[in-house]
A = this chain, B = another copy of it.
Amino acid sequence: MPLLRSWIDSANSATTPFPLNNLPHGVFSVGEGDLRCGIAIGDRVIDATVLEAAGLLRADPEADVLDAPYWNDFMELGPKAWADYRARLTAMLAEGADEATQDALTTFSVPLAEAALHLPFKVTEYTDFYAGKHHATNVGTMFRGAENALPPNWLSIPIGYNGRASSVVVSGTDVRRPWGQLKAPDAELPVFAPCKRFDLELELGAVVGQASSGPVTVAEAEDMIFGYVLLNDWSARDIQAWEYQPLGPFQAKATATTISPWIVPKAALAPFRVPVPARERPLLPYLDEATPGLYDIDLSVSLAPAGKAASTISRTNYREMYYSAAQQLAHHTTSGCPMNVGDLLGSGTISGPEKSARGSLLELSWGGKEPLTLDSGEARSFLEDGDRLTLHGTAHGDGYTIGFGDCTGRLLAALADPYAR
């Protein structure tokens, strides 16, 4: 599919992340104004809440679904409504739209530069997976040796654990270095202290847009997915090392999970679909891929120490994953687990086969044994106070690019006393 041209000029460049082909969903405010649902195009944000209220573009003729600061009610309408809304908005924004439409959308939009961006949806529950084979192999090699790197179940199950929805924040939110229980390998007892090995995890998040109440097939799961966000699963490695046996990570993953401000709808990513890699062990049939479920999305991570320029520390691609979001979601429902609109599924850390394609500092610095050197000359094993981490994601189309907006956050120093009031 080529670039779709819009009467909004800024949407027609080959490099804007928000061409007419994208139309990602977000929530914005201007100044002290209310939070509203918005759609990015070029350098503007269309005010979808006002468009609905004015009757110019409604997803549901009967009821308002955009009169709240999240897209959940819209998602609940289902795939047909998503496609229909997208088709009508595309027509309204396309070159050749009539003048009255252009005037209205110009009035009912604001410059992106003036918009403050908020969480684009209400996160109902959050599940994080471990579905990148390079990542699982790297981490497994460090912890258990190369012979036992992958757990025996890994090639059969998209391994996941429940995370904490309350900890999901929008890009731009500062993240405070947490305290926790840490136990040095040679210490007998733990101490309660600020985390020393705070890390990122480069992931993509799938946003569940339809509910289910029993097991669903991979094809049904595919239809339930509304879109994708960039996702940084901030991780406290030292807290995790001491706490995670036998029931999994808990406080190590609960400080914050940052997502991009824009949900890129599945439709915008359709031209970039790629199949999952060849299976190294046959999957049980309930996990067979229904349709190519990964996407060719270039991903990178940049790290900027306080007051210094950013260095790119990792470049990888979502197609490196072993399991797709639809496979993960299908597995998630096997036990009858009900899924709801607004559930968020983290892909798991996306690492490629090369050293430069590793999606966490744990892997990049090999557990701290091989510190990175940033462009500014500083070394990094794990994050330092003041570091700004930014994830970037881009799909490259024919004369256009699809972006998510940056997924960024700055690490603040730990509180001197977390209980001081």
Using a CB–CB distance below 8 Å, which chain A residues touch chain B?
A: 124-125, 130, 151, 153, 156-157, 159-167, 176, 178-181, 183, 189-192, 214-217, 236, 239, 242-252, 254-256, 281, 284-286, 331-332, 334-340, 415, 418-419
How many whole Å from A347's CB to the nearest CB in chain B?
Answer: 14
In the complex the two chains form, is B419's CB within 8 Å of A178's CB?
no
Quick one: given A215-B179, A247-B161, are A336 and B151 in contact (CB under 8 Å)? Answer: no
Quick one: given A254-B337, A334-B180, are A161 and B164 in contact (CB under 8 Å)? Answer: no
Quick one: given A179-B215, A192-B286, are A160 and B335 in contact (CB under 8 Å)? Answer: no
Of B160, B284, B340, the contact of A181 (CB 8 Å cutoff): B284
In the complex the two chains form, is B337's CB within 8 Å of A255's CB?
yes
In the complex the two chains form, is A249's CB within 8 Å of B247's CB?
yes
In the complex the two chains form, is A339's CB within 8 Å of B166's CB?
yes
Report how many copies the assembly holds. Answer: 2
Please indicate the chain B residues that have their CB under 8 angstroms from the CB of A167 in the complex.
336-338
Quick one: given A162-B163, A247-B248, are A254 and B125 in contact (CB under 8 Å)? Answer: no
How many whole Å from A157's CB to the nearest CB in chain B?
Answer: 6
Give me 29 A-to-B residue pairs in the complex whose CB atoms sit less than 8 angstroms apart, sorted by A's number: A124-B166, A151-B245, A153-B181, A153-B183, A153-B243, A156-B181, A156-B190, A159-B246, A160-B247, A160-B250, A161-B161, A161-B250, A162-B164, A162-B250, A167-B338, A178-B335, A178-B336, A180-B335, A181-B284, A191-B284, A215-B418, A236-B335, A244-B246, A244-B248, A247-B248, A248-B249, A251-B335, A256-B336, A334-B418
| Top 10 A-B pairs, shortest CB-CB distance | A248-B248, A254-B337, A162-B162, A178-B335, A251-B335, A161-B247, A215-B418, A166-B338, A247-B248, A255-B335
In the complex the two chains form, is A156's CB within 8 Å of B189's CB?
yes
How many whole Å from A312's CB to the nearest CB in chain B?
Answer: 28
Residue of B at shortest CB range from A212? B166
How many whole Å from A40's CB to the nearest CB in chain B?
Answer: 28
Interface centre among A215, A236, A252 (most CB of B within 10 A): A215
Quick one: given A162-B164, A245-B153, A339-B166, are A331 and B215 in contact (CB under 8 Å)? Answer: no
Please indicate the chain B residues that have their CB under 8 angstroms from the CB of A156 in the complex.
181, 189-190
How many whole Å from A227's CB to the nearest CB in chain B?
Answer: 21
In the complex the two chains form, is A165's CB within 8 Å of B336's CB?
no
Please indicate the chain B residues that have their CB under 8 angstroms from the CB of A251 in the complex.
331-332, 334-335, 337
In the complex the two chains form, is A336's CB within 8 Å of B254's CB?
yes
In the complex the two chains form, is B245's CB within 8 Å of A125's CB?
no
How many whole Å from A178's CB to the nearest CB in chain B?
Answer: 4
Considering the chains assembled together, what is the distance between the CA atoms of A89 and B357 in angstroms?
63
Residue of B at shortest CB range from A160? B250
Considering the chains assembled together, what is the distance between the CA atoms of A183 and B190 in angstroms?
36
List 9 additional contacts besides A159-B247, A192-B286, A215-B418; criterion CB under 8 Å: A153-B243, A157-B181, A162-B163, A167-B337, A178-B334, A181-B284, A255-B336, A286-B419, A334-B418
Please indicate the chain B residues that have their CB under 8 angstroms from the CB of A124 in the complex.
166
Considering the chains assembled together, what is the distance between the CA atoms of A281 and B415 in angstroms?
27
Considering the chains assembled together, what is the distance between the CA atoms of A243 and B284 in angstroms?
14
Residue of B at shortest CB range from A158? B250
In the complex the two chains form, is A337's CB within 8 Å of B164's CB?
yes
Of B125, B162, B286, the contact of A161 (CB 8 Å cutoff): B162
How many whole Å from A409's CB to the nearest CB in chain B?
Answer: 13
How many whole Å from A187's CB to the nearest CB in chain B?
Answer: 11
Quick one: given A164-B162, A284-B190, A284-B191, are A254 and B419 in contact (CB under 8 Å)? Answer: no
Interface centre among A161, A254, A285, A335 (most CB of B within 10 A): A335
